[in-house]
Chains A and B, each alone.
Chain A
Amino acid sequence: MWQKRALALIILIIGAGLGYFLYHTQVTGSRPFKLGLDLSGGTQLVYRADLSDIQAADTVDSMAALRDTIERRVNLFGVAEPIVQTETSSVLSGTSEQRLIVELPGVTDTQKAIALIGQTPVLEFRMLKAGASVPTDNATSSINAAFEPATLTGKDLTSAQLQFQGTTGALNQPVVVLTFNAEGARLFADLTKNNVGRYFGIFLDGAPISVPVIQEAIPDGTAVISGNFTAEGAKELARNLNEGALPVPITLISTQTISGTLGEQAVQSGIYAGLFGIGAVVLFMLLWYRLPGILAGVALSLYIVVMLSLFNLIPVTLTAAGIAAFILSIGMAVDANILIFERTKEELRSGKGAQEAIREGFHRAWPSIRDSNISSMITAVILFWFGSSIIQGFALVFGLGVLVSMLTAISVSRTFLLALGIDGTSRFTHFLLGSGVRS
């Protein structure tokens, strides 16, 4: 008995501690909850990366370089906490494609968001095919017919610099000097060594900006672009390349924009719905189950602070669907309590003392609680796997809810009910542990 009471006290202290942690972090704003785009407002853009010119072995590298480039570019524009990630299409989509997902919280103008990403140039290197001549027009078809991808790609670029080069008899000509990383330098050295006399094209956004003839091997890992630049044009190109050039072309395939006001409303109504939901469930439990109902209320409060702390600490990105799952889980969390209380009542009716009835009630309710929670977990796991980000938010909260509620119901309610130390078979005991309109 005293052991149970000490345990109950410890549980209460932990609960109060978590409650204080939540209160403190939210009031001071030191650890805000992570809100998904649908709650914070913002834009999500999904791009398909065109990897047709990239060898399969380089896919992962190229996608990583692509992500880094876009991330740099987005950070440059001062978007708070952007998320840039890559994704491989599921086998179920019927096609295999590499995607880039960009989330921009706070950017609620789709056009602006697209422009922000769209200014990033695509840098490619191609070789003129043997026997082909440099096309005179810039049509994609004639370019594709004449050029083939070079081993060197845009991801190997480390920096670009504006310089002025003067050759005898010419004025100082603005050029852009490209510097490659170690890998790029090696590739470029090999490429130039093996292809002396061939044309080497430097392409920006699919258009050739410079197609020089390789004169000799270049071992030092730099290439010079000497198109017919103005000083201004060369400077802009160098800046764009430095801010990051895309190693592969990307195409916009999906967008989603949610305004800040809509997100704010969703958060507001989500909080209200949560409060009303908790209140209504606690009231119901109290009216129907009396004393155990109060304990179910305590267990539910504990469930809520544990869940919110988990959301905050893991952290779980909250979405409207996630909030819905949380509110739904409040209703489900008391299920284990209901099973236990109903069972306890039956044991009481069969003439057992309160302590024994409580123990027996828990014991007998356990298989049902276990089985029914397993079926909910199955759904949660499959939903998580199935999910787009909206559904995953729902599944994660739902699955967590099932686990935590099982924990609070079987350990907490039980400890508290036993710690109260009600015993005997008096009418008062029956009233306290009874339910409904009659005892």
Chain B
Amino acid sequence: MFIVNHRGIFFSITATIVVLAALSIGLFGLHPGIDFTGGTLVQVTYSAGRPTAPALGSALDAAGFSGYSLREAGTNDYILRAGIMTAAQRTALPQTLSLGGSSPATIDQQTEVGPTIGTELRNKSIVALGLVLLCILLFIAFAFRKVSKPVSSWVYGLIALITLVHDVIVPVGFFAALEHFAGAQLDALFVTAILTVLGFSIHDTIVVFDRVRENLRVNQEKGRKEDFAQTAGRSLNQTFVRSVNTSLTVLITLLVLYFVGPAATRDFALTLLVGIIAGTYSSVFLATPLLVAVEKWRSSK
């Protein structure tokens, strides 16, 4: 009830978060990684201490690399990002990275993505995102086709979509900052994280809306008169513990994945973590309060 009654406060909190996330996207920008643009990513580790960036840079310049970026990683690693290598550059890469043998280097990871494969993945990502959104919207419309009073089913769908937008903007904004400050890679895993957040967050919203639907039906069957805000608030209270607990168990596993899990999925776990917190927040503090606001607005007309 508290949440529904003080929905104005939560709307402003939500708005602030969304604006911050949007600002982060606008300021730092999103830079698709080599998975999407094509190019080379090399992680190299120096067993006897890494050389300075300028030293490595001049070796790369000498080998004909241009427009590359170097970032320190771990204690003895560098991550090199560059365009597609020529065959000669590829052959000489171990030699180039070890500065002609003076800094023993081991290539831990080397990925080259051709431009057509990049384009393919980029287009597929966009289509997948659109497809997930469409399917979820259809599914919600279907799930709520029988509820039409006092709020029609397409409103549930629309609100679920608005919460989805929130749930996507927040982790994307977070990721833009992560990319800017910590050198995270916007790769295929990032898209996976966002799509997973979509699936999970809608799951949460559906459970709450399901409860509203059930309470409305029970009220109708028993001929009980109850204010819509009351019903919605009651439904929210009933599902609150569940929403929090489910998210908690998922958050626990994600935290473990972040701190203990493989390095390859660390940024992925963090993005999911933020997305799922946003998803839980929105299904409790945004979806149902919005539903009540819409009902109030429509009945006052």
- Listed in ascending order, the chain A residues whose CB lies under 8 Å from chain B are 38, 46, 48, 89-90, 92-95, 97, 110-111, 114, 253-259, 261-262, 265-267, 269-270, 272-273, 276-277, 280-281, 284-285, 288, 320-321, 323-324, 327-328, 330-332, 334-335, 338-339, 342, 346, 364, 367-368, 371-376, 378-380, 382-383, 385-388, 390-391, 394-395, 398, 435-436
Contacts and interface: CB of A to CB of B under 8 A. Distances in A.
Nearest to A276: B256
Contact of B143 (A97, A269, A284, A371): A371
Interface in B103-131: 106-114, 116-117, 119-121, 123-125, 127-128, 131
A382 B128 contact: yes
A253 B117 CA distance: 8
A390 B265 CA distance: 11
Contacts of B272: 328
A258 B107 CA distance: 8
Contacts of A48: 114, 116
B137 to A, nearest CB: 11
A267 B263 CA distance: 10
Contacts of B116: 48, 89, 93-95, 97, 253
Interface in B186-214: 188-189, 191-192, 195-196, 198-200, 202-204, 206-207, 210-211, 214
A385 B128 CA distance: 8
A436 B240 CA distance: 13
A276 B192 CA distance: 24
B260 A398 contact: no
Contacts of A387: 188
B107 A328 contact: no
Contacts of B113: 254
B83 to A, nearest CB: 13
A273 B119 contact: no
A259 B106 contact: yes
Most buried by B among A259, A285, A380: A259
Contacts of B143: 371
Interface string B134-150: 01100100010000000
A259 B272 CA distance: 27
22 contacts: A92-B120, A93-B116, A93-B123, A254-B113, A256-B110, A256-B111, A269-B261, A320-B264, A321-B189, A323-B261, A324-B262, A324-B265, A328-B253, A331-B254, A332-B246, A338-B246, A339-B207, A371-B207, A378-B132, A386-B124, A394-B192, A395-B192
A43 to B, nearest CB: 9
A376 B203 contact: yes
Interface of B: 35, 43, 90-91, 93-94, 106-114, 116-117, 119-121, 123-125, 127-128, 131-132, 135-136, 139, 143, 188-189, 191-192, 195-196, 198-200, 202-204, 206-207, 210-211, 214, 238-239, 241-242, 245-246, 248-254, 256-257, 260-265, 268-269, 272
B157 to A, nearest CB: 13
A12 B260 CA distance: 31
A351 B128 CA distance: 48
B264 A342 contact: no
Contacts of B263: 262, 265-266, 269
Contacts of B189: 321, 390-391, 394
Contacts of A373: 203
B108 A284 contact: no
A281 B207 contact: no
B210 A288 contact: no
B139 A375 contact: yes
B152 to A, nearest CB: 19
Contacts of B106: 259
Nearest to A38: B264
Main secondary structure of the interface of A (DSSP, over half): helix
A435 B245 CA distance: 12
B91 to A, nearest CB: 6
A256 B43 CA distance: 11
Given A269-B263, A324-B261, A375 B136 contact: yes
A259 B107 contact: yes
B144 to A, nearest CB: 10
A330 B251 CA distance: 11
Nearest to B213: A367
Given A111-B91, A328-B254, A273 B210 contact: no
A332 B254 CA distance: 11
A82 B119 CA distance: 27
B98 to A, nearest CB: 14
A261 B108 contact: yes
Given A277-B252, A280-B252, A374-B139, A379 B132 contact: yes
B112 A256 contact: yes
Contacts of B43: 262
A378 B262 CA distance: 27
A277 B245 contact: no
Contacts of A265: 262-263
A277 B199 contact: no
Contacts of B114: 46, 48, 253-254
Contacts of B94: 111
Contact of A262 (B90, B109, B246): B109
Given A46-B117, A265-B263, A92 B202 contact: no
B262 A328 contact: no
Given A255-B112, A320-B262, A330-B253, 8 more contacts: A89-B116, A94-B116, A254-B117, A280-B256, A327-B256, A373-B203, A375-B136, A378-B135
Nearest to B112: A255
A273 B260 contact: yes
Given A259-B108, A284-B252, A269 B120 contact: no
A115 to B, nearest CB: 9
Contacts of A376: 199-200, 203
A303 to B, nearest CB: 13
Nearest to A336: B246
B97 to A, nearest CB: 12
A67 B30 CA distance: 38
A373 B90 CA distance: 46
Contact of A323 (B128, B132, B249, B265): B265
Most buried by B among A346, A364, A390: A390
Given A93-B116, A320-B264, A391-B192, A110 B253 contact: no
Contacts of B195: 379, 382-383, 386
A377 to B, nearest CB: 8
